[in-house]
Structure 1
Amino acid sequence: MVKSFQGVREAPVKLTQPILVEDHMTTNLITFHPEDTIDHVIHVLTKRHISGAPVIDDEGTLVGMISEGDCLKEIIRGQYNNTPKFPSPVACYMTKDVITLSPDITIFDAANRFLTLKIRRFPVVKEGKLLGQISVSDIIRAIPKLKSSTWR
């Protein structure tokens, strides 16, 4: 008869990987205020090499998104009126009906929303407050860090 001297074995502890949006979102965001001018937005977007940003009010509540496409509308209007400056406020051109994500959904659910809605970035909001933003690039960068045995 063979005796084992290994003692009592404990079940292995399952380690879960961070797969939630809040684990991979960008939190240091460039934001705009509804009263900022389109001139200011164009300057910041080109200087920072970004294509859009959230618009928040004084309390940090998300009120819209402004993008390069939104700025183009003001540029066309300025060209039509022969005005080289773009004094209109962000509130006139921003997208007001913004689709947001919750910080507690998985990056796989977020990836599905990116594909179905054909959007490149989502603001991450909890109780109306902007917490961060997640982009297609954020999800692509997160996937190689995950071990296949932890995906559910």
Structure 2
Amino acid sequence: MKAADVMTTNIVTVRPEASVRAVAETLLKHGISAVPVVDGEGRPLGVISEGDLMPRNEKAREARRDWWLQILSEGDAVHPDYLQFLKSDHRTAAQIMVSPVLTVDESVSLAEIADMLFENNIKRVPVLRDGRIVGIVSRADLLKTIAGPGHLRGRDPVHDDGSALPMASDKLEALSQKHKAAAPPPHDPAADEVSASAFQALRVEHEQHEEEQRREAKRIADEKHHRQASQMLASHLTDEAWEHMMHNARATAKKGEEEHLLLRFPAELCSDHGRAVNAPDPEWPSTLRGMAADIYLRWKAELRPHGFSLQARVVDFPDGIPGDIGLYLSWGKHDDVAH
């Protein structure tokens, strides 16, 4: 079976110029946890998940992290209270989306899609026809193939003996197991004990649970960073993406600002993992790779002659080392910029 046989065709998308608040409202309205960003012809430019709506300001993120982790738990739609917070966020979908986005052709087999979901630790993948998005295949869609032929769109459960179904791969079976709810633990009478030592044990248990959550969140974030760096390393800046960047930069200037974030990317995309940018070393442009290098070359050829500067800054330091790096287009005066 192919992607076209099981994909969801009722697609919800947003445009790159959509505000963060509009994206959040779209997720809430449709009860989904991620949405593709497409251009005017339906070509995918990126994808935005609930986690991408988190504030970029470090202090704001730290102050709200524990609460938002509960609100934005896996599989849940955006909480209405979060929309109130987003009122002050003036970023656009193009600025927060993860790009490039992994896609498949409608003729790709389900086993190949299962492999892609597992290898990249993602929940869904857009399906393309002639470069335009026509559907989405999610883990749930794949699980329906395991549940039986009666769940598949366009199949006749009466006359179909299931022989046309491909053998489910190990990864499809693993997907099924992953979605089965774990049985609740048996009741422990000691949990009802009323004593200082029992309460202290509960506190320790809570701290251990929080530490496990922090480690898991870090693991997921590290995997996402590595995956994003690999995608950006293999991708190149298109004319359309560049035009969107310039459109957003112009909008930023109209708001009275002197610089605009063109691209935020993992430090892994630099050949030295961001050390030259952090120093700062005037040779930092030579460490850029992939899409970041394309943006630098485009700026050098088209914007530098007109007085624009380009600045690279480390925007966060997880565990004390460079995490994400931002490329900022400037029409004001800044130090440590490429001229």
TM-score by length of 1: 0.77
The answer to whether the Cα contact below 8 Å between 1:78 and 1:86 also exists between their aligned partners in 2 is: no
In structure 1, C-alpha distance between the alignment counterparts of 2:29 and 2:134, rounded to whole Å: 23
Aligned counterparts, 1:29-44, within 5 A? 29-44=11-26
Inter-CA distance 79–113: structure 2 relative to 1 (3 Å threshold): same
Map Cα deviations across residues 80-133 of structure 1 (whole Å, 9 max, x no partner): 7x9842221100000111111111011122112112221101011133211111
The answer to whether the Cα contact below 8 Å between 1:73 and 1:93 also exists between their aligned partners in 2 is: no
Q: Which residue of 1 aligns with 2:163?
A: 149
In structure 1, C-alpha distance between the alignment counterparts of 2:128 and 2:86, rounded to whole Å: 37
Inter-CA distance 65–78: structure 2 relative to 1 (3 Å threshold): farther
Query: Does 1:71 pair with 2:47?
Result: no
In structure 2, C-alpha distance between the alignment counterparts of 1:67 and 1:106, rounded to whole Å: 25
Inter-CA distance 54–83: structure 2 relative to 1 (3 Å threshold): closer
Q: Which residue of 2 aligns with 1:90?
A: 93
Inter-CA distance 39–116: structure 2 relative to 1 (3 Å threshold): same
1:51 to 33, 39, 43: 33
Which residues of structure 2 form unaligned runs of 5+?
62-84, 150-160, 168-339
Map Cα deviations across residues 27-74 of structure 1 (whole Å, 9 max, x no partner): 111100000000111112123221111111111111111111111145
For the residue of structure 1 that corresponds to 2:134, the secondary structure is strand
The answer to whether the Cα contact below 8 Å between 1:78 and 1:84 also exists between their aligned partners in 2 is: no
The answer to whether the Cα contact below 8 Å between 2:11 and 2:135 also exists between their aligned partners in 1 is: yes
What is the number of residues matched between the two proteins? 132
In structure 2, C-alpha distance between the alignment counterparts of 1:139 and 1:102, rounded to whole Å: 16
The one-letter code matched in structure 1 to 2:25 is H
1:120 to 119, 123, 130: 123
TM-score by length of 2: 0.36
In structure 2, C-alpha distance between the alignment counterparts of 1:148 and 1:117, rounded to whole Å: 30
The answer to whether the Cα contact below 8 Å between 2:16 and 2:94 also exists between their aligned partners in 1 is: yes
Inter-CA distance 42–78: structure 2 relative to 1 (3 Å threshold): farther
User: Which moved further from structure 2: 110-119 or 89-98?
Assistant: 110-119
Query: Does 1:111 pair with 2:114?
Result: yes
The answer to whether the Cα contact below 8 Å between 1:57 and 1:63 also exists between their aligned partners in 2 is: yes
Q: Which residue of 2 aligns with 1:100?
A: 103
Inter-CA distance 34–47: structure 2 relative to 1 (3 Å threshold): same
Inter-CA distance 92–78: structure 2 relative to 1 (3 Å threshold): farther
2:133 to 127, 130, 135: 130
Report 1 or 2 for greater relative contact order, CA contacts < 8 Å, sequence distance ≥ 6: 1
Q: Which residue of 2 aligns with 1:23?
A: 5
More helix by share: 2
Q: Percent identity?
A: 30
Inter-CA distance 78–31: structure 2 relative to 1 (3 Å threshold): farther
**Alignment root-mean-square deviation, CA:** 2.3
